[in-house]
Amino acid sequence: MFRQITRRFHALASSKPFTITPEIQNALAKKGPVVALESTIISHGMPYPQNVETARAVEDIVRAQGAIPATIAILKGQVHIGLEDEKLEQLGKMGAKAQKSSRRDLALILSKRGYGATTVASTMILARAAGIPVFVTGGIGGVHRGADQSFDISADLTELGRTPVAVVCAGVKSILDIEKTLEVLETQGVSVTTIGERRFPAFYIPDSGFDSPSCVYDESEAAELIYHNHRLELNSGMVFAVPIPKEQAADTQSIQKAIDTALAEVRSNGISGKDETPFLLRRVSELTKGESLAANIALIKNNAKVGARIAVELSKSYTNS
């Protein structure tokens, strides 16, 4: 398995569309722990300068646990695995001018030498291509409320069914239909595991009201699951859900009220597709007077700590195999 990853990495490191920082190249060559990070959370998830400050803080947290951060984005038609400070600043200032990029958008953005911020789905693809098995994000996409009419289901779920990258998150975004999302993940054959708890989290709050399909005690057990997923060559992703610490969670009632209001505005304004989630997150933050944004920042930092520890433990497994 690792030989396949190494061959893919060397091919991409020498190909024109990919720029991999020397630090990450060195870590991958030595089977060291690297953590992929998405860039949509920078361009579309938070306002400047909080987005850049949070991104840098997340990278610092990953390093503090002994892993190397690899923020992924597309700049001038070039896939960047790892962003230097000035490029991170550039992306943060661009904000939504950088195109929100899922699987379907990657080739188009490269062909037009454009700027793209990677979603969960596209970050998984590019992390896999670079040989990075662990990816940290805030929350995954899923089945939108009212999907029985709109058929709006995130490409994240399909990608999880076919790309073997472990995604460490705070569960499914609270604005979505969590019960139906868990059903689709089961259909896609995706392993869904909560770390430390039996209940599946709901992004801003630690308990969605649904049990998780499985749970593990700590990061070492999570790494063991990933290792065996690779050994079996299942070729499907894994979701590791990390509940936001209760002291940093948002108030359940205020969050639900804000979500209901924001959803009504989405329907009345005809907002749909890739514009819906950024709008909902922004409006929920406005309606909760920043409470949801504070929880969002707290949970991504917590996920980064857990994800980096998983990457370190997984690196030990590969080194000893």
pLDDT of 279: 86
> φ, ψ for residue 34 (rounded to 5)?
-130, 140
pLDDT of 1: 52
User: Residues 6 or more apart from 49 whose CB is under 8 A from it?
Assistant: 92
Mean pLDDT over 9-13 rounds to 53
pLDDT of 311: 98
Q: Taking 60 as the threshold, does the pLDDT of residue 11 lie above it?
A: no
Q: What is the pLDDT of residues 58-86, one digit of tens each?
A: 999 999 999 999 999 999 999 999 999 99
Domains of the chain with CATH codes: 2-320 (3.40.1790.10)
Q: What is the pLDDT of residues 197-215, one digit of tens each?
A: 999 999 999 999 999 999 9
Q: What is the pLDDT of residues 96-105, one digit of tens each?
A: 999 999 999 9
Does a cis peptide bond (omega within 30 degrees of 0) precede residue 164? no
Mean pLDDT over 295-314 rounds to 97
Catalytic option among 31, 38, 301, 313? 38
Mean pLDDT over 282-306 rounds to 93
User: Residues 6 or more apart from 260 whose CB is under 8 A from it?
Assistant: none
**E-strand stretches of 4-154:** 18-20, 34-37, 68-75, 78-81, 99-101, 116-118, 134-136
pTM for the predicted model, two decimal places = 0.92
Q: What angle do helix axes 291-320 and 252-269 make, rounded to 10 degrees? A: 100
Q: What is the pLDDT of residues 36-48, one digit of tens each?
A: 999 999 998 888 9
Q: Which residues pair with residue 80 across a beta bridge? A: 19, 73
User: Residues 6 or more apart from 12 whose CB is under 8 A from it?
Assistant: 18, 20, 129, 130
Q: Is 31 among the catalytic positions?
A: no
Helix H or strand E segment including 210: strand 205-211
Catalytic option among 31, 100, 159, 173? 173
Say if residues 92 and 71 touch (Cβ distance below 8 Å): no
Q: Is 38 among the catalytic positions?
A: yes
Q: What is the pLDDT of residues 210-239, one digit of tens each?
A: 999 999 999 999 999 999 999 999 999 999
pLDDT of 321: 66
Average pLDDT, the chain: 91
Mean pLDDT over 101-124 rounds to 96
11/41: higher pLDDT: 41
